[in-house]
Chains A and B, each alone.
Chain A
Amino acid sequence: MGSARLYAAVAAGGFRRYATYRAATAAGIFTNTVFGVILVYTYLALWDERPHLGGYDQAQAVTYVWLGQCLYSTLAIQGGGAEKDLMERIRTGEIAVDLYRPADLQLWWLASDLGRALFQVLGRGVIPFAFGALFFPSALPTDVTVWAAFAVTLVLAMVVSFAIRYLLALSVFWIMDGMGISQFLMVTGIFFSGMTFPLNAFPDPYGDIVRALPWAAQIQMPADVLMGETSPLTAYAFQAVWAVVLLAAGRLLQSAATRRVVVQGG
């Protein structure tokens, strides 16, 4: 029980840390809203041309855009969550201090990243989403159970997002510099999570491939659960399998790193 309290405290710390920057949060809300408006207009033009593209009607396509803007920083789609600090700590050697702590490294960072994600969804996500629902046609469920199911997929999406970033950040133990990894995270995150274009609307056979990759657990799955395009159980299973696989891989890599790698020191 004591360790559960510890990780809850770490998560609360992550939440509070991001809650401190109020002007930055307001700036983020503004930017996400502006990008949402631009994207909505292009989607409306696209769906005018091809109604029911990817199985969505216009209102669903618009809702998809706003959900993407809402989850952009929540799921750290282009990176910039806990993995940024982790890479920096590995690069400078400060990670040695973390390894001495009587806490599990992976769980510690997961808790901290979940705290961050929770703040981002409340602080930065809700307002652009509400703005979109108010001023543009949208397809939102009225059933409470759908929203509850959506909340569960959202938490699973946060875990998968963390697992991907944690796994890749650990590679800094070997390659020493995180620049390239950050760029890789950015490219794959934006493209494969469906941030700029719904994965459902990808032309086949690419569509089948991208929908099977772990990034699909991030925006595509929560969106499809919210709009009733997929059953919650299918989404949970997909997300949970990827979460377990990626977290286990992260654990393996972590133990390999801590056993074999000499930490950089000054």
Chain B
Amino acid sequence: MWVRSSMTYRTSFAVTVLGNLLVTGLDFATILLMFSQVDTLGGWSLPEIAFLYGLSATAFGIADLVLGSMDVLGGRIRDGSFDTLLVRPAPVLAQVGADRFALRRLGRITQAAAVLGYALVAVDVDWSVAKVLLVPVMVVSGAAIFCALFVAGAAFQFVAQDAAEVQNAFTYGGTTLLQYPPTVFGKDLVRGVTFLLPLAFVNWVPASYVLGRPYPLELHRWTAFAPPLVAAGCCALAGLAWRAGLRSYRSTGS
């Protein structure tokens, strides 16, 4: 329904997709601006950073397309319209994901995939079978990790009803963080996003293997292949948080 409604006004849809492409492209434009002044950042070259960016932004774009509407949940809880989702014979999570489903978010994925494509061509790597196979695995696992973050954020909104913006710090903040190499950040921050909130497995760790760079925090070599496991763990935890949130839900009763 939300797809059909946005396709009704074709020009408007085209313009918003284009706008979305531009808005999300700004991150990469900033990186390009930085590289107009330097040759490396934190010891990484532009194609290498484009590789990190492409992986993180594509994974995030997929998660955003599927579950990006989660931030309207707080509003629905506040105005009481969340109740209508509960009585429908479909999983609540799927309904919230489909709520205001915005196909314009394809703009984000298009832009991210374009940067990833550029990176794959420009980066100086001896491609092996394992490395080639790892790229799609990273994108899918990364998307699952970001999806888990969106769901956990939504569960948090049951507790804090008008603090949807906290979620942005982790989702949008997370993808921004991963667009820069781990060498840029302080050790404690890198530790935090490796062991506490395992964002490093979206791209930093597996990309280090592909690019032949030292692993962040001197992790073991096999950790490059851990993203699917990490993603599964995150999704399980987020699922638990969601169920707990849903159980604690009290209607506004208006």
Contacts and interface: CB of A to CB of B under 8 A. Distances in A.
Interface of A: 21, 23-24, 26-28, 30-31, 34-35, 37-38, 41-42, 44-46, 49-50, 53, 177, 179-180, 183-184, 186-187, 190-191, 196-197, 201-203
Given A31-B168, A49-B41, A201-B37, A24 B163 contact: yes
A241 B25 CA distance: 31
A197 B176 contact: no
Contacts of B42: 45
B184 A34 contact: no
A50 B34 CA distance: 10
B23 A187 contact: yes
Contacts of A46: 34, 37-38, 41
Given A35-B169, A38-B185, A46-B37, 7 more contacts: A24-B163, A31-B169, A34-B169, A34-B173, A179-B15, A180-B16, A191-B26
27 contacts: A24-B162, A24-B165, A26-B163, A27-B160, A27-B163, A27-B164, A27-B165, A30-B166, A30-B169, A31-B165, A31-B169, A34-B170, A42-B34, A44-B184, A49-B39, A49-B40, A49-B41, A50-B37, A53-B37, A179-B15, A180-B15, A187-B19, A187-B23, A191-B26, A196-B27, A197-B30, A197-B33
A28 B23 CA distance: 20
B161 interface: yes
A61 to B, nearest CB: 12
A32 to B, nearest CB: 9
Chain A contact residues, majority secondary structure: helix
B186 interface: yes
B26 A49 contact: no
Size category, B interface: 35 or more
Contacts of B180: 38, 41-42, 45
A26 B33 CA distance: 32
Given A41-B184, A45-B184, A27 B166 contact: yes
Nearest to B35: A46
Contacts, number: 99
A31 B173 contact: yes
Contacts of A28: 165
A207 B41 CA distance: 21
Contacts of A183: 16, 19-20, 22-23
Nearest to A198: B33
B95 interface: no
Nearest to B27: A196
B177 A38 contact: yes
Contacts of A186: 23
B19 A184 contact: yes
Nearest to B166: A27
B29 interface: yes
Contacts of A187: 19, 22-23, 26
Nearest to A202: B33
B36 interface: yes
Interface string B195-225: 0000000000000000000000000000000
Contacts of B164: 24, 27
Question: Which residue, of B19, B27, B41, B169, has the highest number of chain A Cβ atoms within 10 A?
Answer: B169
Question: Which residue, of B20, B27, B34, B39, has the highest number of chain A Cβ atoms within 10 A?
Answer: B34
A31 B39 CA distance: 30
Contact of B16 (A37, A179, A197): A179
Contacts of A180: 12, 15-16, 19
